[in-house]
Amino acid sequence: MFLHMANLVTFPDQSAFERALGLLMKAGLMLEVLRTPTFCAGLMPPAIIATDTAPKLAAGLDAAGIPFSGVLPYSPIKKDIPEACPPDPLWRKILGDLRITLVRPSFSDPLRLRVEAVPEKDLGPLIPLMARMIRGGAYCPDVPVLAFEEDHRLLAFSAESFVISRADHLLDAQIMLRCAIDLICAAWQSRSFLKPDESPRQGIGATEIFKRLPATNCGQCGHSNCMEFARCVFTGRTAVERCLPLAEAGYEAHRESLLWLLHAIGLLKDGPSSSGDFRPAIGVGSFRQP
């Protein structure tokens, strides 16, 4: 099989996949289409495994104006594909088109994947209902945002997108994507009788913040180490801006990931931005699913 040293290219939608497939076939590359499992049909387009370097693949797609969501080293997945029916077609009515805008290594665990999905329609009205259906996690009704853990994975929902972080591999991300869609559909179907959750929850915190800090233990923030600083940020006793290394060149990815996390768990209510103000809003708790 040719796939040793190959790269996996993922796409935001079916149209981008089809355009890329035509382009790469004309380029004479050895490639294989990685079909989407039946249980995830329509949620994520197929991917392409191609024998070219990641920079060349990305540059070729960019030059042709073809969007892609990720170019990653390919490793065969040693796991059976679950047998399940396609997702309920209702999801299209609820969310409209769904674009998989990002597939890349997770910042908090680079051996695993982060996948971001952006629906056409606003997810915000359903988040309070989803929060009612999920025990624990972090939930801020004012934004609204909901984040919870599924084993080592972190799932986060906002009005504009939802993110699966630390998926084991692409198949695992597809399984989690289907679970997220099922949760959204269940919330929509329950909207006439399920009472929205109005109480904030505090179940994800200091450890996740710590994973996104520079880990220099420099003491410039006034704390003895980064873990102590993370706990103080989470409980509102200090501000993230006091971490001076985060403002330095080379720590842009740390800052981006930390901003995203603070928004996902309700500590940054204005949404993540490179110039946003970090203001802690909630404290520590625990997560348990029903």
Give the C-alpha distances (Å, rounded to integers) separating 126 from 116, 165, 219. Answer: 18, 21, 42
Of the two residues 3 and 106, the one the predictor is more confident about is 106
Query: All domains of the chain, ordered by start, with CATH?
Result: 7-73 (3.30.70), 90-189 (no CATH)
Is residue 201 within 8 Å of 229, Cβ to Cβ? no
**Pairwise CA distance, residues 10 & 1, whole Å:** 21
C-alpha span between 210 and 147 (Å, rounded): 17
Tell me the whole-structure pTM to 2 decimals: 0.88
Indicate the DSSP class of residue 220: T
DSSP state for residue 197 in the 8-state scheme: P
Question: What pLDDT is attached to residue 153?
Answer: 96
**For 8-32, how does the pLDDT look when each residue is reduced to its tens digit (9 = 90+)?**
999 999 999 999 999 999 998 899 9
Report the mean per-residue pLDDT for the chain. Answer: 89
What is the rounded end-to-end Cα distance, in angstroms, of the chain?
Answer: 44
Q: Does the pLDDT value for residue 2 go beyond 80?
A: no
pLDDT at 279 over 80: no
Helical axes 14-26 vs 54-63, angle rounded to 10°: 110
Rounded-to-integer distance, Cα 175 and Cα 213, Å? 29
* Angstrom distance (rounded) from CA 230 to CA 247: 16
Q: Of 18-32, 69-83, 126-140, 172-186, which gets the smallest average pLDDT?
A: 69-83
pLDDT of residue 259: 87
Phi, psi at residue 220, to the nearest 5°?
-65, -20
Question: Strand ranges (DSSP E) for 31-135?
Answer: 31-34, 47-50, 70-73, 98-105, 113-119
- The helix or strand, by DSSP H or E, that contains position 232, with its residue range, turns out to be helix 226-234
pLDDT tens digits, 208-263: 999 999 999 999 999 999 999 999 999 889 988 899 999 999 999 999 999 899 88
